[in-house]
Amino acid sequence: MIRIDQLKCAPSKDDKGLIKAVSRKLGIRKEDILELGIIRKSLDARKKPELFNVYSVWVRTVNDEKILKKLRKDASVSVFSPVLYKAPEGGNEKLTHRPVITGMGPAGLFCAYELALRGYKPLIIERGRSVEERKNDVKRFWETGVLDTISNVQFGEGGAGTFSDGKLATSVKDKDGRIHEVLKIFSDNGAPFDILYEQMPHLGTDILPGIVKSIREKIIENGGEVRFETKLTGIAMNEGRVVSVTVTDREGAPEEIPCEVLILATGHSARDTYKMLYDNGLKMEQKPFAAGFRVQHPQKMINLDRYGSYEAAELLGASPYKVTANFEDRGVFSFCMCPGGYVVNASSEEGELCVNGMSYSGRDSANANSAIVVSIPVSEYPSDHPLAGIEYQRNLEKRAYDLAQGRIPAQRYGEFKDTVIKTENSTVSSESSDDGCRGESFEPVFKGEYEWCDLTGIFNEKINRLFVDGMTSFAHTIRNFDAPEVIMAGVESRTSSPVRIPRDGNMESSISGIYPLGEGAGYAGGITSAAADGLRGAESVIRKYSPLK
């Protein structure tokens, strides 16, 4: 088969011009193309408002060899050699008990899926509720402000990214096809096929729960067992290896479950679980992370800047963006950008508040949002204790909660900036507009109640100043990015884990038999990389043990 890279076409909804472009490129008739598949599709907006889709494709023709010979000097045409994911053969050691998987976020879910399909009959415990029940719990929280600490935006089936933009792009290189395998599993369970080749694939909050449910059903069909509202509350060891776990059900009744494999996929918000594991001697270390505020701009402003016209968005959808800047020892950057999205109250603990972003598959709200975050080195943490980063996060979240008694604290950027750089020239307009920004006010979109506040007391002066410097710098990339009317909300503090649980080459922790996976272990950041880490964890178990009879 033949691979063609850098194939340019005018954007169209259904990749209409592609076959024509391929036949022209290869100098053959359309009828001589037997099969064609897209490997990658991205947008080239360097000559905006003239836009191009740029494709990498594979093609099977009536005579591949002849074409490859004819075009051998064309660097964009080559032999297609796909990277195929290959799961390992089962090992020889015998398991006496089912592997226990803790947490049903992407890491736990994909680990369980692979183990179930390969005959290891995993037992999966999840502290939160099923995704169907969780949808109502989260909606209720956003409507009433009453937090359910068992089932919320962070906890429950599907994990932290279930009520999200569902961005699936990752910076992890796909050397062994594992990332493609993750996307294929999503697609086999109800995600649209184009996630397999779009450069920036996304699902949306309306699609993710159905996929999560489908994966759960397949785990159960293949011999796995799922227990909701069941929390890991203890571990027991013998000679440095795990021998059982204690779990606590919805009535608070403890149960001891023997196991020789414990997958820890508990995410970065399970602070009580980190503590329990630390108290039991599991080795952990500090890890830097990033924190800041979520900002909202009118989506039309972003579309105009990125595409060069308002109309292009009708074909290409709401535009994403990415901005970064470096200031001496710190980075400031956009994180988890949600085109046409909502800023959500993403809290999971009483008396503490954090925000995040989500969107529906249509990405059709009026505003774009993203976290603008500053890198936080471990030297900012209150002590050298491995869990001090959690204390640091908690302090930020307590301050954010106290500002508006649990409602999302929000502020126009102009007012924030004036306080931070101690000027008195706030120029926030009260004129409402739906597409402009500088000199024209626009309305925020939140999931959860909000209140206008002064956000300058959440972080220290240095971080506030870095945030402002970042915003000023980003306005050189995106016009009006730092307009006074831009809406900020705090605090964005759950970007990644401030803790790492070290693991060896077989992915086991300092306690044998415990496999820390995903974001909470400090080895992933985002849905796809956490899911891929889940698959890697399953591979390690498969390589060592034979399936359960």
Minimum Å distance from CB 502 to ligand FAD?
A: 16
Q: Exactly one of 118, 134, 167, 178 binds ligand FAD (CB under 6 A); which one? A: 167
The torsion region of residue 15 among left (phi > 0), alpha (psi -120 to 50) and beta comes to left
| Residue 415 binds to ligand FAD (criterion: CB under 6 A) | no
| Residue 519 binds to ligand FAD (criterion: CB under 6 A) | yes
Minimum Å distance from CB 33 to ligand FAD?
A: 35
Minimum Å distance from CB 473 to ligand FAD?
A: 24
Listed ranges 54-62, 123-131, 311-319, 504-512: which one lies at the site for ligand FAD (CB under 6 A): 123-131
Residue among 399, 405, 413, 485 at smallest CA distance from 442:
485
Amino acid at 501: I
Listed ranges 3-11, 90-98, 284-292, 352-360: which one lies at the site for ligand FAD (CB under 6 A): 352-360
The position carrying tokens 């005959």 is: 119
Nearer to ligand FAD, 158 or 409 (CB): 158
Q: Exactly one of 11, 128, 409, 444 binds ligand FAD (CB under 6 A); which one? A: 128
| Residue 267 binds to ligand FAD (criterion: CB under 6 A) | yes
Listed ranges 268-276, 289-297, 319-327, 465-473: which one lies at the site for ligand FAD (CB under 6 A): 268-276
Nearer to ligand FAD, 116 or 153 (CB): 153
Q: Exactly one of 56, 273, 286, 411 binds ligand FAD (CB under 6 A); which one? A: 273
Peptide bond into 138 cis (omega under 30): no
Residue among 416, 383, 382, 411 at smallest CA distance from 396:
382
Please report, in angstroms and rounded to a whole number, the separation of the first and last CA atoms in the chain.
42
The residues near 186 (Cβ < 8 Å, ≥ 6 apart) are 168, 195, 203, 211
Minimum Å distance from CB 118 to ligand FAD?
A: 20
Strand ranges, E, within 140-187: none
**Angstrom distance (rounded) from CA 89 to CA 329:** 46
Burial class (CB in 10 A: 0-12, 13-18, 19+), 503: buried
Tally Cβ neighbours within 10 Å of residue 301: 27
Nearer to ligand FAD, 107 or 420 (CB): 107
The position carrying tokens 């994911």 is: 85
Q: Exactly one of 18, 67, 138, 270 binds ligand FAD (CB under 6 A); which one? A: 270
Considering only residues 232-251, where is the footprint of ligand FAD by CB under 6 A? Answer: 232
| CA 447 vs CA 143, 229, 384, 518: distances in Å | 8, 25, 36, 27
Residue among 531, 538, 514 at smallest CA distance from 117:
538
Nearer to ligand FAD, 123 or 453 (CB): 123
Minimum Å distance from CB 117 to ligand FAD?
A: 18
Minimum Å distance from CB 156 to ligand FAD?
A: 6
Nearer to ligand FAD, 107 or 445 (CB): 107
Tokens read off for 107: 């890491």
Nearer to ligand FAD, 103 or 292 (CB): 103
| Residue 297 binds to ligand FAD (criterion: CB under 6 A) | no
The SS3 assignment for 466 reads helix
Q: What is the total residue count of the chain?
A: 549
Amino acid at 507: M
Nearer to ligand FAD, 57 or 265 (CB): 265
Minimum Å distance from CB 29 to ligand FAD?
A: 42
Site map (CB under 6 A) of ligand FAD, residues 134-163, x = contact:
-------------------xxxx--xxx-x
Nearer to ligand FAD, 203 or 304 (CB): 203
The position carrying tokens 């089962």 is: 90
Nearer to ligand FAD, 122 or 267 (CB): 267
Nearer to ligand FAD, 102 or 480 (CB): 102
Read off the DSSP letter of residue 420.
H
Tokens read off for 106: 């992407």
Please work out the total of residues on this chain that contact ligand FAD, with binding judged by CB under 6 A.
Answer: 46
C-alpha R_g of the chain: 25
State the DSSP H helix or E strand holding residue 184, giving kind and residue range, or none if neither: helix 178-188
The two beta strands, 289-298 and 285-286, are unpaired
Q: Exactly one of 11, 99, 106, 341 binds ligand FAD (CB under 6 A); which one? A: 106
Considering only residues 305-344, where is the footprint of ligand FAD by CB under 6 A? Answer: 336, 344
| Residue 346 binds to ligand FAD (criterion: CB under 6 A) | yes
Q: How far is CA 316 from the centre of its chain?
A: 22
**Angstrom distance (rounded) from CA 122 to CA 116:** 6
Q: Exactly one of 25, 118, 121, 127 binds ligand FAD (CB under 6 A); which one? A: 127
Residue among 180, 187, 188, 189 at smallest CA distance from 213:
189
**Angstrom distance (rounded) from CA 299 to CA 307:** 12
| Residue 38 binds to ligand FAD (criterion: CB under 6 A) | no
| Residue 231 binds to ligand FAD (criterion: CB under 6 A) | yes
Residues at the site binding ligand FAD, with contacts judged by CB under 6 A: 102-108, 125-128, 153-156, 159-161, 163-167, 231-232, 265-267, 269-270, 273, 336, 344, 346, 356-358, 518-520, 524-528, 530
